[in-house]
Structure 1
Amino acid sequence: MAIEDMYNGDDLFQIRITFNPKDLKKSWVKNLSQAFTAEALRWAERRTGQTVGGPPTTVRVRREKSLPNGLCVYIEDGVDLVVYVFDEDLISEAGAHALQRMLTSRALTWSHRSEPGASRGLR
């Protein structure tokens, strides 16, 4: 898995995540891209020297059988914890572990734009 931040000057305009083809079901790539784009809008990069209000958010990635209503990802967004629940047919166990490591490292330099507390499903 690789991640690339794309900037236009100082403004981040795209985050590109590249999965190992064995770890992600190809037919879900567009759906997952839309889901992560929606989620990324809830976060902001911490600028150098910015005061951090508390410890970084803990991130967990889980896989479950058959998420309801055709969801590809269900996000439980709490104050200190964000849990991404994937349909197990969408992502491999290795892919889920890699994604959790990547998101955990990102949580060190990113923070919520708005108050967390919403849970939502993304198709």
Structure 2
Amino acid sequence: MPRPGAAGELMRLAYFQGADPRDPLVSPVDHPAVLAKFPPTLLVTATRDMAMSSALYTHRQLVKAGVAADLQVWDGLQHFFFGDVDLPESREAYRVMVDFFDRHLEGARQPRDTGGRRP
């Protein structure tokens, strides 16, 4: 994993809470044999997302390991931008996510019972 600066190091320590980040079960990104077992993966980030570099690095590692990995980067938005459902970019991100799962889970989707109402 790329070496973070001081702020990144503090966030990493808080996130891992004492777990060894070198453990492939904790952080598989630097373990090609583990990554090779990943399913198709969608990474969504934005240019003002503090985790964008990690997303780019993870995407590169997944591709090197032979995993079908899609990377979507939205310009000028922050981390978890799609949590704001009123943003037009959020609706676009939701379409990207649905399309990704439709492609990779084709045939796995079961119709849900809506009680006669439209979903």
Report the TM-score when normalising by structure 1: 0.30
The structure carrying a bigger strand percent of its residues is 1
Larger radius of gyration: 2
The structure carrying a bigger helix percent of its residues is 2
Report the TM-score when normalising by structure 2: 0.31
